[in-house]
Amino acid sequence: KSQETVSSLSGAASQKIKVSEDPVAGFISQHDDDFPTLAFPSISTADFQFNLEKASNIIVEKVEEFIDKLGNARLVLVDLTHGSKILSSVRAKAGEKNIDSKRFFTFVGDITQLYSKGGLRCNVIANAANWRLKPGGGGVNAAIFNAGGPALEAATTDRAKSLLPGNALVVPLPSISPLYSKEGVTHVIHVLGPNMNPHRPNCLDNDYTKGCKVLRDAYSSLFEGFLSIAK
């Protein structure tokens, strides 16, 4: 049984805090939806053409590595469609490893509309960025820069002009950004993954020894960036 109670914050950031009465514990506990939550897309597996099987192994491996450091925080892998191969592969592998499904789960939806369209509160979202940290280029990068508006672009440029493969950049979102006011996103973490697409910069030419290392580094940087905010 869950009820909405206090509205403690003011202005655009105002969010109702949900509490649920836990009949077993017998006290009022915080609702799951108020825990720090990182929504992230599968880095490198669409435009950058990274092998899905290898990517899903790395996602599960990295989630497993970080999950005990999360406390109450949650990780959510997001993709646009129910037919998403990366979501089903990761779900199956996470299930085999008995990863706690309250702290890590998959979700179908547009990462820029998780709260307004999907009812899922995620205070942090990750972007599969390009090395120039610029809008456009299609995919999730175009969607996030569109939704974040000029405020996201300015806040990003303030922090860095470029990113190396395997690295992540945490950008606090100004409250004037629609992503903040409509979706409750307080931070965007840009991540640059390995590229296997010959038509994009820094193509690794199918070198999966290097590619897997870079993808592992990318998820480590992403999850460490999230932990630095969540704590």
For residues 33 and 79, which CB has a smaller minimum distance to ligand AR6 in the complex?
79
Q: Which of residues 120-159 bind ligand AR6 (CB under 6 A)?
A: 128, 130, 137-141, 143
78 touches ligand AR6 (CB under 6 A): yes
Partners of 126 in beta bridges: 189
48 touches ligand AR6 (CB under 6 A): yes
For residues 139 and 149, which CB has a smaller minimum distance to ligand AR6 in the complex?
139
- Residue 188 backbone class (left: φ over 0; alpha: ψ -120 to 50; beta: rest): beta
C-beta nearest to ligand AR6: residue: 139
User: Minimum CB separation from ligand AR6 for residue 22, in Å?
Assistant: 32
Q: Which of residues 167-226 bind ligand AR6 (CB under 6 A)?
A: 193, 200
User: 116 to each of 45, 122, 142, 224, how far by Cα in Å?
Assistant: 26, 11, 19, 27
Q: Phi and psi dihedrals of 100, rounded to 5?
A: -55, 115
110 touches ligand AR6 (CB under 6 A): yes
111 touches ligand AR6 (CB under 6 A): yes
State the Cα–Cα distance between residues 181 and 173, nearest whole angstrom: 10
Q: Which member of 37, 45, 167, 186 binds ligand AR6 (CB under 6 A)?
A: 45
- Sign of the CA dihedral 143, 113, 128, 208? negative
For residues 20 and 113, which CB has a smaller minimum distance to ligand AR6 in the complex?
113
- Residue 170 backbone class (left: φ over 0; alpha: ψ -120 to 50; beta: rest): beta
Scanning 45-53, 99-107, 203-211, 217-225 for contacts with ligand AR6 by CB under 6 A, the matching segment is 45-53
Strands 74-79 and 168-172: unpaired
41 touches ligand AR6 (CB under 6 A): yes
Q: Supply 85's token pair.
A: 């191969």
Give me the residues that bind ligand AR6 (CB under 6 A), please.
41-48, 78-80, 86, 110-112, 128, 130, 137-141, 143, 193, 200
